[in-house]
């Protein structure tokens, strides 16, 4: 037999390796966590991993961002650049990270034994996920607030008779009448029972029509005022943070309690939770679609969503919107995909998983668009305005447009409960993935200190992030949340992704990476992935990065423009993660020995510890197997500990009978 593969700089150097993960010593199909094996644990079965990855990739953006982008960028024509970037950037990065994490079996920091100079990439991933987790749970607290408010016979955001409402508030069914009243008053008339009386003599029918066309009627919906004046209690700007909203604080606390108990035992607990949280959204989306398509005006909304405008494909921004949406939707470079795949059994078919999950994620986005636009079309029909006047994205869709649309349905509290509970489960899955990347990354890097105290460390991180989020649940919190969202995972995430792809494809080398994949899957992937990783995907990622930087604009919230110091603070926050890359590169060079070139070679080559986490997996042979005289492969089978005990007991029985 040919010698087994070596992974480190010196194949003769044998560093102490992590203990074997039990469960692979026994039944491979359903590995389990055992105190006798590696304390990291593994997924209970393949379905837990699949649903966790799917739940992480399918997040809030699939529901509240993609449908709006599709409508704004040419409807059905937008699917062309969307699929293009899925094939050339999305799936290659997804497959790269799944195979990278599964091969090494460790977190996003320790995994950079593959090239120690770039350990800062791992710390940057953890920092980005940490920052996003803070405000992401605040969004979950908004969702919980609406969910609890929906348990009533009459939804609280459908009337204009509350203390917080203004004179501009107009209920949905009264939009047409309010508009006519506004126009009649503008020409000096009195509006009564659908007719404008006592208009001035100059207000002839023709002049009246012209005046009506030129009026600037502004309607504020009760759902918008409920969102701004009751839920957020919004202040005038980031300079005025105001007091803390205790209802949002309690919802944020509840969100962190759910997250903590879901992750307290690592993949042993989160792997069970995702059976519900990853599948429930699809059930609700299907129910909402069936209900939505039966409503008046639904098909107008759907056609508005998919109507192709081929001329939009000539605009570069359409292509960049598709690229950015694909990249952020699939969740590459956050460290989460590396973390989740690191808990896989070594020979899991990560290639199959990458294809199915990435395609399912994009299909979910398209499917969610039909759900959203069918109900938004009904809303536009009911209040008598164009679909384009009521569609929105982000919080504007989740907390203003869609709640108002739901309020017009029969048994509206039921549909509101289903919708917000669906958003809650979508948010939880993404939060699980990001926080697990933080926990696993730090615990794997400092196992002696943190692994024995994993429960307390998980609790400490959750409490810390809850405290850091308190300013975001104040009256000016939405401004701070928007700023963190604007800068924390924008340019910095793209820099991390480009660095990761270039290091693995060029520094570590695609040939070596292909060998690693063959060890796991039993065969080499096609040359297509090598072309993508070395050329196409880095070019696409660099293009997105450059486009993002060139077209960067200071943070805004609606029409509110932030002061200059807020923009500077945002850039400092963005650089707080990226700065880890050069800092750790310098540290590794300083700690290495020899001349500068010797140090550079040393810190850009895999360490002796690099390779599969299990000793038995490190000894897998990359060469073609030997054949016996009958042409059958000769395979050396290493018995497990249990098999050795059985063989020994049988031998003792035979000896005792002699």
Annotated binding site for Na(+): 55, 57-58, 62, 329, 361, 426, 429-430
Which DSSP string corresponds to 350-403? HHHHHHHHHHHHHHHHHHHHHHHHHHHHHHHHHHT--GGGT---THHIIIIIHH
Q: Write down the residue that tokens 């837990």 correspond to.
A: 48
Per the CB < 8 A criterion, the answer to whether 464 and 231 are in contact is no
Q: Which residues contact 591 (CB under 8 A, 6 or more apart)?
A: none
- Both tokens of 560, joined, read 């509110």
* Secondary element (H or E) of residue 157: none
What angle do the packed helices 491-502 and 477-488 form, to 10 degrees? 20
How far from each other are the two terminal CA atoms of the chain, in whole angstroms?
Answer: 37
CB 508 within 8 A of CB 458: no
Report how far apart, in Å, the C-alpha atoms of 622 and of each of 222, 245, 473 are.
Answer: 66, 60, 55
Task: Find out whether 101 and 340 touch, Cβ atoms under 8 Å.
Answer: yes
3-state helix, strand, coil in the chain (%, to 5): 65, 0, 30
Distances (CA, A) of 346 to 20, 45, 459: 12, 13, 30
Rounded to whole angstroms, the Cα distance separating 252 from 259 reads 11
Q: Which residues contact 562 (CB under 8 A, 6 or more apart)?
A: 237, 238, 479, 483, 554, 555, 556
Q: What is the 3-class SS of 185-218, one letter each residue?
A: HHCCCEEECCEEECCCCCCCHHHHHHHHHHCCCC
Binding residues: 55, 57-58, 62, 329, 361, 426, 429-430
Query: How is 539-591 classified by DSSP, letter by letter?
Result: HHHHHHHHHHHHT----EETTEE--HHHHHHHHHHHHHHHTHHHHHHHHHHHH
Tokens of 16: 């102490």
Say which DSSP state 446 is in.
Answer: S
- The Cα 2–Cα 464 span in angstroms is 52
- Measured from the Cβ of residue 194, the count of other Cβ atoms closer than 10 Å reads 8
CA distance 551 to 556: 14
Q: How many helices (H) and strands (E) does the chain have?
A: 31, 4
Q: Report the alpha-carbon angle 608-338-273, nearest 5.
A: 135
Angle separating helix axes 412-445 and 280-293, nearest 10 degrees: 150
Distance CA 354, CA 330 (A): 10
Q: Give the whole-angstrom CA distance, residue 101 versus residue 121.
A: 14
Q: How many CB atoms lie within 10 A of CB 87?
A: 14
The 10 Å CB-count burial string (b at 16+, else e) for 211-246 is ebeeeeeebebbbbbbbbbbbbbbbeebeebeebbe
- The DSSP symbol for 4 reads P
Q: What is the Cα–Cα distance from 111 to 72, expressed in whole angstroms? A: 40
Helices 280-293 and 298-306 pack at an angle, to 10 degrees, of: 120
Could you identify the residue written with the tokens 């107009």?
Answer: 170
């Amino acid at each position: 037999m040919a010698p087994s593969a070596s992974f480190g700089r010196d194949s003769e150097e044998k560093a102490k390796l992590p203990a074997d993960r039990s469960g692979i010593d026994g039944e491979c199909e359903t590995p389990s966590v055992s105190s006798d094996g590696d304390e990291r644990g593994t997924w209970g079965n393949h379905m837990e991993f699949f649903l966790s990855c799917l739940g992480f990739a399918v997040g809030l953006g699939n529901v509240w961002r993609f449908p709006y982008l599709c409508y704004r960028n040419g409807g059905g024509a937008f699917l062309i650049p969307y699929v293009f970037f899925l094939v050339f950037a999305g799936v290659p990065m997804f497959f790269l990270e799944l195979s990278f994490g599964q091969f090494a079996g460790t977190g996003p920091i320790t995994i950079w034994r593959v090239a120690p100079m770039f350990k800062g990439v791992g710390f940057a991933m953890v920092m980005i996920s940490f920052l996003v987790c803070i405000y992401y749970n605040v969004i979950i607290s908004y969702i919980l607030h609406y969910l609890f408010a929906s348990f009533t016979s009459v939804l609280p955001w459908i009337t204009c008779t509350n203390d917080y409402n203004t004179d501009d508030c107009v209920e949905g069914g009264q939009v047409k009448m309010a508009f006519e009243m506004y126009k009649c008053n503008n020409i000096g008339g009195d509006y009564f029972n659908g007719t404008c009386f006592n208009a001035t003599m100059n207000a002839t029918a023709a002049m009246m029509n012209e005046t009506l066309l030129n009026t600037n009627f502004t309607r504020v919906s009760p759902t918008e005022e409920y969102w701004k004046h009751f839920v957020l209690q919004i202040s005038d700007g980031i300079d005025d943070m105001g007091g803390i909203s205790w209802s949002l604080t309690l919802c944020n606390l509840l969100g962190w309690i759910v997250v903590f108990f879901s992750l307290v035992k690592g993949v042993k607990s989160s792997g069970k939770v995702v059976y519900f949280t990853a599948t429930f959204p699809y059930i609700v989306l299907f129910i909402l679609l069936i209900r939505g398509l039966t409503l008046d005006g639904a098909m107008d909304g759907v056609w508005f969503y998919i109507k192709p405008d081929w001329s939009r494909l000539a605009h570069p921004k359409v292509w960049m919107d598709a690229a950015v949406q694909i990249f952020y939707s699939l969740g590459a470079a956050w460290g989460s995909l590396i973390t989740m795949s690191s808990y896989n059994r070594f020979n899991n078919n990560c290639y199959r998983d990458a294809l199915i999950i990435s395609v399912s994620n994009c299909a979910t986005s398209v499917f969610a668009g039909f759900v959203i636009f069918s109900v938004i079309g009904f809303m536009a029909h009911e209040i008598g305005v164009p679909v384009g006047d009521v569609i929105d994205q982000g919080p504007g869709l989740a907390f203003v447009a869609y709640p108002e649309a739901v309020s017009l349905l029969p048994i509206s509290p039921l549909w509101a409960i289903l919708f917000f509970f669906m958003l809650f489960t979508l948010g939880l899955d993404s939060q699980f993935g990001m926080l697990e990347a933080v926990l696993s990354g730090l615990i794997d890097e400092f196992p002696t200190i943190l692994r024995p105290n994993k429960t307390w460390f998980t609790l400490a991180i959750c409490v810390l992030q809850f405290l850091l989020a308190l300013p975001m649940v104040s009256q000016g919190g939405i401004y701070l949340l928007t700023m963190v969202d604007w800068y924390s995972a924008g340019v910095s995430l793209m820099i991390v992704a480009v660095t990761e792809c270039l290091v693995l494809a060029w520094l570590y080398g695609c040939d070596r990476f292909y060998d690693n994949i063959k060890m796991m899957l039993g065969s080499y992937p096609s040359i297509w992935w090598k072309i993508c990783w070395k050329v196409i995907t880095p070019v696409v990622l660099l293009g997105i990065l450059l486009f993002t930087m060139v077209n960067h604009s200071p943070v805004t919230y609606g029409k509110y423009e932030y002061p200059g110091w807020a923009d500077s603070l945002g850039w400092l926050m963005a650089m707080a993660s990226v700065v880890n890359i050069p800092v750790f590169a310098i540290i590794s060079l300083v700690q290495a020995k020899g001349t500068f070139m010797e140090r550079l070679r040393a810190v850009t080559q895999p360490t002796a510890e690099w390779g599969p986490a299990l000793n038995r997996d490190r000894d897998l042979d990359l060469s073609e197997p030997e054949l016996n005289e009958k042409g059958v492969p000769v395979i050396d089978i290493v018995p497990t500990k249990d098999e050795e005990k059985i063989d020994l007991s049988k031998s003792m029985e035979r000896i005792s009978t002699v």
